[in-house]
Structure 1
């Protein structure tokens, strides 16, 4: 059996959902404004996970044009029934715009997945599907209670039958529960299960911040009434201090193993340097035991630990991802993402073999557009990331480099740029609507290597040419501006490569020889 380390999927992988097919487990998470959408992972032991694809990997499935930071794809749920995988999720168009729910299907979890089936008359976010023993299918989501909200963000969980073949809700919607605590808010992420004659409804309450929690109710009839567990919440860390190593635990999904044991995947964060969560919300694993026909999560300690006793399943071989990408494959690895849906092929692995070529586009990292950006998630509290860049800016504003990116308003750019005909390497900090140059050095030529060294929240930016030693461009920069607690939103930090012509049309490009990421 042995122990395992939490989080099981580190970095910005929030809102996990899980299903089992025989001895295989599949897990998905939210992606918000990043493309491709919804990574899907496979495991046979619930501890070691390998990404096998993305569910929404075609522009026809996912139009993120103009989608603001921390909007887009929310809280997917994955289920399997009669040879077919179902993935249902919410597309949030804007901060105050429409929330639209849809599902896609596939016989193979690695894809390809179908085009979206958009559901009419399905308000709210974080939907889920439940397949009952009689083959009837039910949709659950959240909504404003028909009788009105009694307090801020008061929501109700509702249920309606779904004809999955026609892609239509049928019958009448039924409100089934508005949470365990009448003063709680943001009742969302409903998941239904059936065990020993009971329907169990697990939801998230308290918002996705420090007061996040998982609660449960049960009923003998799917439409209710539902009885709240007197021991609610069944999982939370909100009673712990803000110096806890794991915080804002919630948004759970249950799975039973082929051995008859139960486990929960959920989200949580690892703050550092204070209550700052640069890694975003990550995926954790917790044991579950049923007592008196109620689920008990983490029955020994009542909390998720960094190291816990693992599932009674044969451990699969751990395949550690490479720390360096030499860009010598025909396609980018699954860890790489774009900001919003790419409408043109602005990158190439073929034009210069062994290099990632990024074409300069007018869009910048400070726009709500689709910049020439390829990035991967930060997954460790301390790390260093480096790349080798060949780039000769000719026109004013032509820029390429390395970025630590949270949003268009909160990021660092470590870039090569031409200033008054002098090539420069500089560090730009953006917090809010303005840029601040926090370090700058003249250079003679490229290629040069750029490196960011992150010791917890202290950032150092260094460069070297092919003959020299590492030279500091900027040091003691504060990484906290990359945290949701300072920047807002729901995402985590990305480490990316980018190129821009800053609003002008350009035929220039930048070549990246390799990218290296080492976490500690």
Structure 2
């Protein structure tokens, strides 16, 4: 049996991890931004092997993402458990300059169903967290601009206020807890409070979620402060390792104690490759923690998140692996599939043609802040192969269907079956360029895409495995946040559109296969 584990523990676009333990079970949630369903929830017995058990926000009544711009929507969530109830609190960011609205939901079973949101009044900022004190009181923490004003760009402070679980609203005074470990590191956010040996510990993310990201810690004898920062701050960062280190922008952590008294931290990080580009977005990592002189020390003797580490001393529990190929034989979509924004309209079906995913063409396109006819999954490997079999007969030049490899609405590749043939479109910064065109007049088509680092290769075929090159060595860097901006990772999926006009046409997908080649 292996004594080590590999990071990330959850690869692909699964950022801002939060974790809680319930006896011998561990539950973890991550951010989802403009994707639906919102907030995937994972389960583990050993902190290393995780299985997705559902999503927290699965109904349109819980999550209305209409018009939400790229990389807005659901920001960092926190999961906690108290007296038989699971709580998830999170921030809904409406737009670049619009409201940041905080809410929480509850469930007796982490697999759901989860309640509709309890929206919190006068609850500013992002990255809300919950803390249940041993005196029965409950508190919310988040960030905000300091009431006396910002002293430098992105200067924020962490605040705390009591939550009344009966009224589902904040009550009492707001307390300012923290506004920077070094009085110069910006973007104070992602606060979590823990009580260890009678002391309150405040964990904070600082430095922004890019290369200068870090985690700092402070402590106090009183939950309302004053908080003393650790002289060892930041207790975790990779900004000193240089831009060629294989794990970057580490930060935004959450602590958990195992049943045998060990401490661990989950945090986000990215794996840059081929020149420092991060197509996979921000992923979830695991790192050990020990307490020395009343302070947490991350990965003692090393102080960084490693690609391979020593496993927790927990009994290993592996879960059945998710098959590489979805033949669309189940009555519901697999959990890894997502929509862009809240799905509107009856545009997909697994029942109309059993064993197929039917996508009806919608007038909406993937280039706008709408809900297009797109069903996709995350890219989780640096090298991968994806393929599908599609049946589609376009009735006019506006009708298209195929695959999309997506960073956002303005940065992606589309391989489309059109009335005149097959084409590969590159969309970069909103500008579109047709990279390749091949004549094709058949109802059935196979698509395949292989990626080796930042080199993407696109193929099509009329018959299985008889591949023809559409275009090879296509630059994948536009699928990274370093080019496209934002906070999400690359997606891929099936797409159909009638480009602005109504249509009764549809495309049938027989399967979708994704294989990591690492």
| Same fold flag (TM > 0.5) | yes
Equivalent position of 2:361 in the other structure: 360
Q: What aligned pairs does 1:480-491 form with structure 2 within 5 A after superposition?
A: 480-491=477-488
How much is the aligned-residue C-alpha RMSD, in angstroms?
Answer: 0.8
Q: Secondary structure at the match of 2:193?
A: strand
Do the aligned partners of 2:365 and 2:372 also contact (CA within 8 Å) in 1?
yes
Aligned to 2:379: 378
Q: TM-score, normalised by structure 1?
A: 0.98
Q: Which residue of 1 aligns with 2:81?
A: 80
The aligned counterpart of 1:321 is 322
Quick one: distance in 2 between partners of 1:368 and 1:221?
45
Give ranges in structure 1 of 5+ residues lacking alignment. Answer: none
Other structure's SS at 2:239 match: coil
* Corresponding residue number in structure 1 for 2:65: 64
Q: Which residue of 2 aligns with 1:204?
A: 205
Written as runs of structure 1 = structure 2, the 5 A alignment for 1:280-295 is 280-295=281-296
The answer to whether the 8 A contact 2:496-2:507 is kept is yes
**Counterpart position of 1:437:** 434
**Does residue 112 of structure 1 match 2:121?**
no
Secondary structure of residue in 1 paired with 2:448: strand
Structure 1 residue 499 and structure 2 residue 499: aligned? no
* 1:509 to 2:506 alignment: yes
Could you state the TM-score of these two structures normalised by the residue count of structure 2? 0.99
- 2:53 maps to what in 1? 52
Q: Name the CA shift for 1:467/1:304 in 2 (closer, same or farther; >3 Å).
A: closer
Q: Distance in 2 between matches of 1:433 and 1:515?
A: 28
Who is 1:519 aligned against? 516
SS of equivalent to 1:485: helix
Alignment of 1:144-293 (within 5 A): 144-293=145-294
6-15 or 463-472, which deviates more = 463-472
429-438 or 253-262, which deviates more: 429-438
Q: CA deviation at 1:490?
A: 0.2
- 1:308 maps to 309
The more displaced of 460-469 and 408-417 is: 460-469
- Structure 1 position 458 matched with structure 2 position 455: yes
Q: Is the 8 A contact 2:446 2:464 kept in 1?
A: no
Q: 1:18 to 1:175 in 2, by over 3 A?
A: same
Aligned to 1:425: 422
CA distance in 2, matches of 1:60, 1:128: 22
Report whether the alignment pairs 1:41 with 2:42: yes
After superposition, the C-alpha distances for 1:485-505 in whole angstroms (9 at most, x for unaligned) are 000000000011010000110
In the TM superposition, what is the alpha-carbon distance from 1:446 to its structure 2 partner? Answer: 2.6
Change (3 A) 1:471 1:181: same
TM-superposed deviation, 1:468: 6.9
Q: Which secondary structure does the structure 2 equivalent of 1:68 belong to?
A: coil
- Alignment-derived partner of residue 14 in structure 2: 13
Cα offset, 1:418, TM superposition: 1.1
Distance 1:15 1:28 in 2: 8
List per-residue Cα deviations over 1:310-368 (Å, max 9, x = no partner).
Answer: 10000002422110000011000000000000122211011011100000000111011
Distance 1:327 1:121, change over 3 A: same
SS at match of 1:334: coil
Alignment of 1:382-393 (within 5 A): 382-393=383-394
Q: CA deviation at 1:302?
A: 1.1
Deviation at 1:105, TM superposition (A): 0.3
Partner of residue 472 from structure 1, selected from 458, 469, 472: 469
After superposing on structure 2, the runs of 4+ consecutive aligned residues of structure 1 that deviate more than 3 Å are none
Contact 2:419 2:441 in 1 (8 A): no
1:310 and 1:442 map into 2 onto residues whose CA distance is 54
Cα shift at 1:160: 0.6
